[in-house]
Amino acid sequence: MKKYKAIFFDWDGTAVLSRKAPVDDIIGPMKALLGEGVKLAVISGTTMENIGGGKLYTYFTPEERRNLFFGLGRGAFNYGFDESGEAYTFGEKLPDREMLVQIHDVCYAIHKYLLNEHGLNTDIVFSRPNYCKIDLMVENNRGEALFLQEGEKERLLETLSAHGFVGGLKGLVELAENIGREMGIPVLATTDAKYLEVGISSKSDNVNTILGFMEENHGIIAGECSFWGDEYIGFGEGIFGSDSFMITDKTRAGDFFDVSETPGERPKEVEQLGGGVKRFEEFLISQKRCG
């Protein structure tokens, strides 16, 4: 495989099996590449606290950290590190409190619609700084594994049709965006089958901002980057998973790889490699320039 100047990757399910899983296996390969000047960007929907207990960067020296980036919170936060190894943020896309409350209103309206019209109950996680997670399968607990589980999409589609909701996942995304439009709040909705996530930004904002930074400061272009995830998979009708939001007009010339084994439709830019976190770890090791 070609050697990339920058590697963007999802965290849960791609770099580690789950949030509670030890980070030991991935640190070594990351450290080797950062030391050689390869840029690594963790692109995750979560916040820093959920990535290696918020301590991931402490495994790396200040020099290594200069090549490390985090694009977190579904487009809300981007982090780089200065000469002394201190984190700084750039290109934030965080709603103010008023906008956040409006996002909450939209999510509650979605919940009410599904309950009123379809007798379908949901739970809403309100505590994220910039979006809500609507749990569409309240009976189905993922435990510590936060990524798409085998058969989840099928179970959700069965649940939806049992409640008389037609249109499947695309219908849900459209419902969310339509309710937002009606309320005058232009929300973006994404889904990984268990959760419908509703906010004003996405992983697209993270990769665009971080690649823009790399372009400006290091002359790196999209064709020199690869993008790794475990949730590119399609849900049919042009609805793809959260990692597919890393494919943008700005990044499209890059290479996109999926480590998920799950069969299904993916965006045409994506090559399915399978192999899970092990495959991604092997890739990082193989990217080492010398020794």
Contact residues for Mg ion (CB under 5 A)? 10, 12-13, 147, 230-231
Residue with Cβ nearer Mg ion (152 or 231):
231
Angle at 269 between CA 130 and CA 284, to 5 degrees: 80
Q: How far is the CB of 1 from Mg ion (least distance, A)?
A: 21
- Residue with smaller CB distance to Mg ion, 53 or 62: 53
Tokens representing residue 118 in the block: 């379809």
Taking each helix axis from N to C terminus, what angle separates 168-182 and 152-162, rounded to the nearest 10 degrees? 70
Q: Which is nearer to Mg ion, 12 or 205 (CB)?
A: 12
Q: Which residues contact 19 (CB under 8 A, 6 or more apart)?
A: 12, 46, 50, 51, 144, 146
Nearer to Mg ion, 91 or 276 (CB): 276
CB-CB contact of 153 with 165 (8 Å): no
Comparing CA positions, the residue from 245, 248, 241 lying closest to residue 266 is 241
Coil/strand/helix, residue 270: strand
The contacts of residue 65 (CB under 8 Å, 6+ apart) are 34, 57, 81, 85
End-to-end CA separation in angstroms for the chain: 17
Q: Is the CB of residue 80 less than 8 Å from the CB of residue 213?
A: yes
Query: Which CB atom, from 15 or from 100, has the smaller least distance to Mg ion?
Result: 15
Are 197 and 158 a contacting pair, CB within 8 Å?
no
Nearer to Mg ion, 192 or 224 (CB): 192
Query: Got the DSSP string for 174-199?
Result: HHHHHHHHHTT---EEEE-SSEEEEE
Instruction: Residue 16: count other Cβ atoms within 10 Å of its Cβ.
Output: 21
- CB 197 → Mg ion: shortest distance, Å? 13
Rounded to the nearest whole angstrom, what is the least distance from the CB of residue 242 to Mg ion in the complex?
Answer: 7
Q: Which residue sits closest to Mg ion, CB atoms considered? A: 13
Collapsed DSSP state (helix, strand, coil) of residue 89: strand
- Comparing CB distances to Mg ion, the nearer of 185 and 270 is 270
Least CB distance from residue 10 to Mg ion, whole Å?
Answer: 4
Q: What is the DSSP letter of 106?
A: H
Q: Give the nearer residue to Mg ion in terms of CB position, either 77 or 147.
A: 147
